[in-house]
Amino acid sequence: LPNIFTAALPVLERLENGGFEAYFVGGAVRDLLLNRHIHDVDIATSAYPEEVKELFQKTIDTGIKHGTVTVLYGDSSYEITTFRTESGYQDYRRPDHVTFVQNLDADLKRRDFTINALAMNLRGEIIDLFDGLNDLKNRLIKAVGNPEQRFHEDALRMMRAVRFMSQLKFKLEDKTKQAVKDHHQLLKKISVERIRDEFVKMGIGPHSRQAFQTFLDTNLSEDVPDFAGKSDLLAVYPKLKFNPTEETSFWSVIIILLKIQDTQINKFMRDWKNSNAMTEAVEKIVTLFDLFSERIPTDYELFKAGKTVLLNTIDVAHILGQPIDSEALVDRYMALPIKSSSELAIDGRFLIKQGIEPGPKLGKMLNTIKEKVIAGELENNEEAIGAFVAKQD
């Protein structure tokens, strides 16, 4: 058993000794059986939140209303959630209220896919009510129960389905896939932020091209921002050379495939509720990519882009199968005399001491000096730059 589980065994033990049932549940059990990296373990228990809090010294009220208490134990923290069912899905989004229950079965039944509905007790016994082990073996994403009903309860599950396809390299089980096809428009009820989070996880998963094909085949793509009617352009994605592994690369590739104009990138990123930082990074990458397709960038343009943007743009070109001499570009970047403005040997104060008056002229002079240093036409030291300044006007 991986350390992350053994470290959590005393937590289960304490719950059992307190007279309650307790199990590992959800993604951690799935990932354990798939031999994947496990980032956190979730625990389900028959104990009510107040009872959990009595058993442990350090707890955080993470989501008491939904039954979740975070327990700090050893060097780790664990989300412990009371067995529950969800009822009254009013708007295809989240349940109106949860009902605590006394047995595990109902709790597993509310979970989205059979592979996510496995539980394991502290003796390592697996509880598999929905044949999830078989679906793990056959690498299938299959809804627990009636897929149509499950997607009506919570339409985000349709995006989770394609996300797990990409992350786990699984296929979508036939009936589950048909239900997505028939009900993709329910996605319109879901907030863009939640769709985006699943979409990005899909986009940077190791099977994103296959998952994206399903995202298109089921018409989920018609119900997300700015994609409606664009399936011809998006159909290139599954045929790409490589899968993106970073979020910036993923968005850049999507924008390039959609042939979005430079001036419209900002709107597109905002429609998807992306952060300003993400938007700026993507704008820089797409701009440099466009430049690459026209001509070889100058040293100054490489300087302006900076190392991260350059490497990301090379990554994007690679994914798109665009031939570029990436080694030469990186070599040229690494050979630049300065890599950021702060590395310039002089600043504005130096120019003032040289007799240049503060104002626009000084700014222009500073820029000229920077460009000449980057182009290798001027040495980056006070002496050489002082002599250059003296020669002007």
DSSP state of 72: E
Q: Does the annotation flag 194 for ligand binding?
A: no
Binding mask 30-69 for ligand ATP (x = CB under 6 A): ------------x---------------------------
Is 93 annotated as a binding-site member?
Answer: no
Using CB under 5 A as the binding rule, whether residue 164 contacts Mg ion is answered as no
Whole-angstrom distance, CA of residue 271 vs CA of residue 215: 19
Q: Is 112 in the site for ligand ATP (CB under 6 A)?
A: yes
Question: Residue 27 interacts with Mg ion (CB under 5 A)?
Answer: yes
In the list ligand ATP, Mg ion, none, the entry touching 79 (Cβ below 5 to 8 angstroms by class) is none
Q: Is 157 in the site for ligand ATP (CB under 6 A)?
A: yes
Closer Cβ to ligand ATP, 111 or 207, answer by number? 111
CB 173 within 8 A of CB 115: no
Q: Which of 140, 142, 86, 134 is nearest to 113 (CA)?
A: 142
Asked if 179 contacts 147 with a C-beta cutoff of 8 angstroms, the reply is: yes
Min separation Cβ 187 and ligand ATP, Å? 13
Q: Are 324 and 292 in contact (CB under 8 A)?
A: yes
In whole angstroms, what is the distance from residue 175 CA to residue 183 CA? 12
Q: Note the residue count of the chain.
A: 393
Shortest separation between residue 295's beta carbon and Mg ion, angstroms: 46
CA distance 222 to 206: 23
In the bound state with ligand ATP, the residue whose beta carbon lies nearer, of 154 and 283, is 154
Q: Rounded to the nearest whole angstrom, what is the least distance from the CB of residue 273 to ligand ATP in the complex?
A: 19
Q: How far apart are the first and last CA of the chain?
A: 76
Name which of 215, 261, 265 is nearest 237 in CA terms.
215
Residue of this chain nearest to ligand ATP (CB atom): 27
Q: Please, what is the minimum distance in Å from the beta carbon of residue 371 to ligand ATP?
A: 47
Please identify which residue in 107, 128, 135, 154 interacts with ligand ATP, judged by CB under 6 A: 154
Q: Which is nearer to ligand ATP, 154 or 223 (CB)?
A: 154
Token digits of residue 61: 């009220």
Point out the annotated binding site for ATP: 27, 30, 111, 154, 157, 160, 163
Point out the annotated binding site for Mg(2+): 40, 42
